[in-house]
Amino acid sequence: MLDSYAVIGNPISHSKSPLIHTAFSQQTNQSMQYDAILGPLDGFQAAVEKFRQQGGKGLNVTVPFKLEAYRLITHLTERASIAQAVNTLKFENNEILGDNTDGAGLVRDIEWNLDTPIAGKRILLMGAGGAARGVILPLLQQKPSVLVIANRTLHKARALQQQFTSYGNITSGNMMSFSNENFDIIINATSASLQDALPGLPAHVFMDNSLTYDMMYRHEPTPFLKFAQQNGAQRIADGVGMLVEQAAESFFLWRGIRPQTKPVIALLKSQI
Ligand code: NDP
């Protein structure tokens, strides 16, 4: 029997995870299958339990269940514990290990695929939701000179600053607080692009050689990436690389093998 994995979310039909993990398993000759499960909004825990009882080995967890998954686990990795959100579950004996691979995926995409070391850099992270929370610790662990959290609702950015202050040089404000400063790496972790909107960042933050990154992805540059280009940013990237890299990190947790990500990023880009 093949080892069984899946992604669970609601909605789920848009998920690229089955495509990514099927490509990884073929590339590394793993005997496994990977499916998509539509989790009932009022029945996440029961759906996880059913999958586990049927012999499932692990799950990726996506919107809206990342916080609920955090409450199900028996063991947590440090990064999931600090993020207080889980996107990967591993079932072993009677235990459920929870991990959060989003931050590692982002860091790997920026440093390896986009060839941009984080150490010593000034980073602006926009957003204070689940995605931002998951990437703060992995970013700080790379020792940027400063990590600035900017969020539309100021108190949420302040709360994250307080929570992570012992892990590195971190500060916070709203979108206009840093209009006289510029940054080496600017990351959009808001969901503004999902609404076809701009997050409200002033135009002066971009430099010629800044890397501007939007965690969202689609077939053309997001409004935010277009805005960055119009204001001088020459290096832009969307979240496809992060998506594939966080999946590779989950795959490594489950199978102990690191798949090659570049061919899978290219495959995904050709399909979006
Ligand atoms: P959340 O709903 O948890 O948080 C949304 C954040 O966006 C909040 O900080 C909110 O600000 C801000 N926001 C929403 N609309 C606007 C707007 N119009 N202008 C300014 N700020 C706005 O979402 P997530 O953190 O889970 O997801 C954020 C994005 O990251 C999504 O686009 C998601 O697709 C992407 N993502 C990509 C991943 C990848 O692998 N590539 C992985 C995970 C997420 P406020 O607090 O003021 O409401």
d(CA 185, CA 205): 10
Residue 31 has pLDDT above 90, yes or no: yes
d(CA 190, CA 205): 17
* Gap between the terminal Cα atoms of the chain: 32
- Residue with CA closest to ligand 1 atom 23: 129
Residue 179 has pLDDT above 90, yes or no: no
Mean pLDDT of the chain: 95
- Selecting among 66, 121, 262, 269, the annotated active-site residue is 66
- Centre of ligand 1 to C-alpha 29, Å, is 36
- Centre of ligand 1 to C-alpha 54, Å, is 34
Share of the chain above pLDDT 70, in %: 100
- Residue with CA closest to ligand 1 atom 29: 191
**pLDDT for position 70:** 87
- Helix 262-271 vs helix 17-27: angle between axes, to the nearest 10 degrees? 140
- Residue with CA closest to ligand 1 atom 6: 190
**pLDDT for position 56:** 98
Same fold, 3-100+241-271 and 103-238: yes
- Centre of ligand 1 to C-alpha 136, Å, is 14
**pLDDT for position 67:** 82
d(CA 134, CA 158): 16
**pLDDT for position 1:** 83
Question: Of residues 185 and 178, which shows the higher confidence score?
Answer: 185
Short-list 149, 146, 112, CA closest to 131:
149
d(CA 46, CA 54): 12
pLDDT band at 180 (very low <50, low <70, confident <90, very high): confident
Interval 43-82: pLDDT, tens: 999 999 999 999 999 999 998 998 899 889 999 999 999 9
90 is catalytic: no
What dotted CATH number matches 3-100+241-271?
3.40.50.10860
Interval 181-232: pLDDT, tens: 999 999 999 999 989 999 999 998 999 899 999 999 999 999 999 999 999 9
Contacts of residue 109, defined as CB under 8 A and 6 or more positions apart, other chains included, come to 237, 241, 242, 244, 245
Residue 84 has pLDDT above 90, yes or no: no
d(CA 102, CA 87): 8
**pLDDT for position 29:** 97
| Residue 57: how many other CB atoms lie within 10 Å | 18
State mean pLDDT over 139-160.
98
pLDDT band at 130 (very low <50, low <70, confident <90, very high): confident
Locate the domains of the chain by residue range: 3-100+241-271, 103-238
Q: What is the CATH superfamily name and number for domain 103-238?
A: NAD(P)-binding Rossmann-like Domain (3.40.50.720)
Instruction: Please work out whether the CB of residue 172 comes within 6 Å of at least one atom of ligand 1.
Output: no
Ligand 1: nearest atom to the Cα of 63: 26
Report pTM.
Answer: 0.95
